[in-house]
Amino acid sequence: MDHTALELIELGAVFFALGALGRLAGRIGLSPIPLYLVGGLFFGQGGVIPLGDIGEFTQLAGEIGVVLLLLLLGLEYSAAELFTGLKRSWMAGVLDIVLNAAPGAAVALLLGWGPVGALVMAGVTYISSSGIIAKVLGDLGRLGNRETPVVLSVLVFEDLAMALYLPILTAVLGGISFFGGLQAVGISLAVITVVLVVALRYGRYVSAIVDSDDREVFLLKVLGAALLVAGFASALQVSAAVGAFLLGIAISGSTAENATRLLEPLRDVFAAVFFVVFGLNTNPASIPPVLAWAVVLAVVTTLTKVGTGWWAARRAGIGRLGRARAGAALVARGEFSIVIAGLAVSAGAVEGELAALATAYVLLMAVLGPIAARVVEPVARALQRKTAGVTRTATDTP
């Protein structure tokens, strides 16, 4: 069979399978991310139907998926909202880092993956999935709840922490010297500062540059700007993903809303390919040996995220039920965790088992997060009723 024809058939099969998996995820009320990862495991090396020569296309499409994921995340925030969220949530954000990065780093060191593996796994277990959390809060009708601003403030802090973490990780994975690493971090801080200042004071001009009444022109300009910024950021050893995130922050108002509407379908397609590519690069046979560690991390970091949300909501004066909802909402891990692990795997600087552990962990957490958010309220109410009943009984006893 002709080589091009075979590639088209393979790509068609992958996209059709992704569509079927996405539909299945919607029917059972879960994020499609774990099913996309499973699809990648199915088609990858060691999978049931290994694919042939579409690696170059899927690799580039996966990179575009990361850029679009972070661009649309940036479009959700304005620079003013970022500063406000940072001031409101910095204490909870610091607690979040301590509680949720430590388990991943500890497991990596126990498995003998060294400081680089510890740095990678710390990021994998630390960062919550903004995409999954936003969708779950919307589906459950909790966007107007008192605890929701607390949850969003913690997510804002995490996103800003990633803007610093990713350049450091990129420098470490690239084998850059200590001085070179400091230089990369300095460049990253300078770029982030400049972009935030530009977004805060001159965001309307950035929006005007990419804006257009013609949808086709608008889409091409926004997508082109995102890829250009991501490319230049990568050349400066600032993560391409962070570059796209910062561009999203700089675009504001109706321009940001229109860009989100136009780019969402593209993001969904390319992001799905990204998750599949990560699954393609993970041998399913490597998962069983690390599955127990993935379960341990899932249990520990579920408790630590719930603790983070509970503490942050308590500081905001929110009642026990709202604290429980805030904690459960933060449990889900997803796109960012896979981005971090994908950077490490593509750099070839970590053990192959790390990809397997990250895959198994995200599979568990992307499923557990939405379930925890759904069941926490009825469980908390039942416990409240039970506690109230015990208290009344004790009071009535002569």
* pLDDT per position as a tens digit, 48-79: 566 655 666 777 887 788 788 778 877 876 76
Q: Where are the domains of the chain?
A: 33-381
Between CA 190 and CA 183 the distance in angstroms is 10
Decide if pLDDT at 330 tops 90.
yes
Q: What DSSP letter does each residue of 146-171 carry, written as one string?
A: TTHHHHHHHHHHHHHHHHHHHHHHHH
The average confidence (pLDDT) of the chain is 80
The tens digit of pLDDT for each residue in 43-55 reads 766 555 666 556 6
Picking from 293, 311, 291, 315, the residue whose alpha carbon sits closest to that of residue 303 is 311
Inform me whether the pLDDT recorded for 239 exceeds 70. no
Question: Do the Cβ atoms of 236 and 25 come closer than 8 Å?
Answer: no
How high is the pLDDT of residue 55? 62
Highest mean pLDDT out of 103-107, 127-131, 351-355: 103-107
Q: Which residue has the tokens 């719930």?
A: 306
Residues 6+ away with beta carbon under 8 Å from 389: none
pLDDT at 90: 82
Question: What size, in residues, is the chain?
Answer: 398
Of 3.40.50.300, 1.20.910.10, 3.40.190.10, 1.20.1530.20, the CATH number of 33-381 is: 1.20.1530.20
pLDDT surpasses 70 at 349: no
Q: In whole angstroms, give the CA distance from residue 209 to residue 221.
A: 9
Between CA 269 and CA 287 the distance in angstroms is 26
**pLDDT band at 369; cut points 50, 70, 90:** confident
pLDDT digits (tens, 9 = 90+) for 132-154: 787 777 777 786 788 888 887 88
Token pair belonging to 201: 């004071």
**Reduced to 3 states, what is the DSSP secondary structure of residue 317?**
coil
Q: Which of the pair, 299 or 88, is modelled with greater confidence?
A: 299
pLDDT band at 101; cut points 50, 70, 90: very high
pTM here is 0.74
pLDDT at 250 over 70: yes
